Amino acid sequence: MLPFKTLIRIDKSLKLPVYQQIANRLIGLIQEGILKPGSFLPGSRVLALQLDLHRKTVIAAYEELISQDWLEPVPRKGMMVATNLPVIRPRSFRKVLQPYGEATAFSFHTPPAAPVMAPYPDASMPLVINDGFPDVRLAPLTDWVRECRSVIESARYHKLLMYGEAAGTTALRKEMVKYLSDTRGLNITADHVMITRGAQMAIYLAAAMIIKPGDYVIVGSPNYFFADLCFEQLGARLLRVPVDEEGIDVDAIEMLCSQKKIRMLYLITHHHHPTTVTLSAARRMKLLEIIRKYKLPVIEDDYDYDFHYSSAPILPLASADHGGNVIYIGSFTKSLGLSIRIGFMIAPASFIAASAELRRLMDLRGDNLAEQALANLLADGTIARHLKKSNKIYRERRDLLCELLQQRLGQQVTFTPPAGGMAIWLRFSSNISLIKLAENARSKGLRMSSGEQYHYGGKSVNGLRFGFASLNNKELRAAVAILEGILDTAS
């Protein structure tokens, strides 16, 4: 309910009757758009109590407005602002006030324009080829709800709800130490862990702690475009290094470090985005030498390390001797397939403490309920069991999609089966227009990317990430069949 006590001011020293003052002010509120057609006013008793007046005074004001066609009495509901507002009786009907229009009266900083986004789920589209998302139908929802209920019903939940650290709940940070030690070989303590709202927040925080306007930052080409946008927003000058089948070109990194003052390197060592390649062992060893030699700050984005199919995963750079220069970032958002946003940053303790202070300026603390529930699921092995099950299913879907692409799309596409992750990097023949292909696919009930975002800051690659994890076998067959049927229309 609107605060009528402050919206309607009564001055009993005026010669104008009080009921008329109320009626005039209500007309003004309607003209200003604050009271909208079809909305209901409070009952006469309620409004009289708010204005500290006799009820009959409010009734008189309402009757005056009814007589002028501003209000309509609705049986058993009360007084409603007329849906057909008068335009003749009140001879001056002011323009509806719109304090929030298109433009501001002041200047502001505009972030770098994002490229055309990859498609997100669309209820109107039966099928969606996304960037590489998990299948939410496999998410451990029952376990998640159970743990959330357990936390809420605990005697100390009120403390968990009211208080929290910017670096994340202590329980989750301690469980992360065990989890990352077992899965990634990281030798860390809870002081080296920060929980964030997804990996993107961790990337931004880490970069904001390092980059100053004008700094040189090395990234891959192509690269994860949201990371590029983040660094550009912070004022970085991006130096793009080629990415081939062995990952980012380490020799090119070394050359740049010898020529310029490089402030930071960003790379994805596993399942590079968008190409899905993994940095080779030889390049890892050389890169570690470069990092130590130049004391080069590195953001290692390992967004879907937990999903490997062909062989045992290679340990991240963060697990090796990097001299305290690697900031390791990951996420549970894709592992769980839930809408919760939980990422993490691993770094030296002093960096984590400072990052927590920066995070506090925009987000005092994380989601205590979600973090505690995740800590419990890590502790009881639920997450490990879910990942084992998901890996088996996703591997089968990857294999099926590779088979379908080879059989149905033939010479029109090229790809390398990824060792892990949730997408295949699919390159199309130069005679195929992905923009036309995406348009024609939509008319067939298939939503897909036009591939434009993947060549942000570089040349066109005429490719896209075909996310297979979120589509079951039937959906994969249907999606490839649609593509097969419309390929000729996009040439």
Q: What is the DSSP string of 335-364?
A: HHTSS---EEEE--HHHHHHHHHHHHTT-S
Check residue 333 and give its pLDDT.
86
- DSSP 3-state of 275: coil
**Residues constituting the chain:** 491
**Alpha carbon of 106 to those of 71, 103, 109, 111: distances in Å?**
39, 9, 10, 16
∠ CA 186-192-196, rounded to 5°: 105
421: left (phi over 0), alpha (psi -120 to 50) or beta: left
Cα(465)–Cα(447) distance, integer angstroms? 13
Check residue 457 and give its pLDDT.
78
Cα(30)–Cα(47) distance, integer angstroms? 17
Cα(111)–Cα(226) distance, integer angstroms? 11
pLDDT along the chain (491 residues), means of 10: 87 90 91 88 92 93 91 90 66 54 78 66 77 92 92 79 83 96 94 95 97 97 94 96 96 97 97 94 95 97 89 86 95 82 95 95 87 94 94 96 94 93 95 93 92 83 93 96 92 82
Cα(87)–Cα(69) distance, integer angstroms? 10
Check residue 353 and give its pLDDT.
95
8 A C-beta contact, residue 196 and residue 354: no
Check residue 233 and give its pLDDT.
94
**Alpha carbon of 187 to those of 182, 203, 325, 331, 348: distances in Å?**
10, 21, 15, 18, 11
Cα(130)–Cα(426) distance, integer angstroms? 12
Check residue 90 and give its pLDDT.
43
pTM of the model: 0.81
- DSSP 3-state of 327: strand
- Rounded to whole angstroms, the maximal C-alpha distance in the chain is 91
Two structure tokens written together for 123: 């209820």
What sign for the dihedral angle of Cα 347, 351, 354, 358? negative
Check residue 92 and give its pLDDT.
46
| Cβ atoms within 10 Å of 288's Cβ, excluding its own | 19
**Alpha carbon of 255 to those of 262, 287, 457: distances in Å?**
11, 12, 21
Cα(165)–Cα(397) distance, integer angstroms? 40
Cα(241)–Cα(233) distance, integer angstroms? 20
Two structure tokens written together for 411: 């010479």
pLDDT digits (tens, 9 = 90+) for 260-294: 999 999 999 999 999 999 999 999 999 999 999 99
- For residue 128, the cross-strand partners are 447
Going by C-beta distance under 8 Å and a sequence separation of 6 or more, which residues neighbour residue 6? none
pLDDT digits (tens, 9 = 90+) for 15-55: 899 999 999 999 989 888 888 899 999 999 999 999 999 99
Q: Alpha helix (H) ranges present in 131-191?
A: 141-153, 157-162, 170-184
Check residue 89 and give its pLDDT.
46
- DSSP 3-state of 265: strand
**DSSP symbol at 191:** G
- DSSP 3-state of 22: helix
Check residue 123 and give its pLDDT.
61
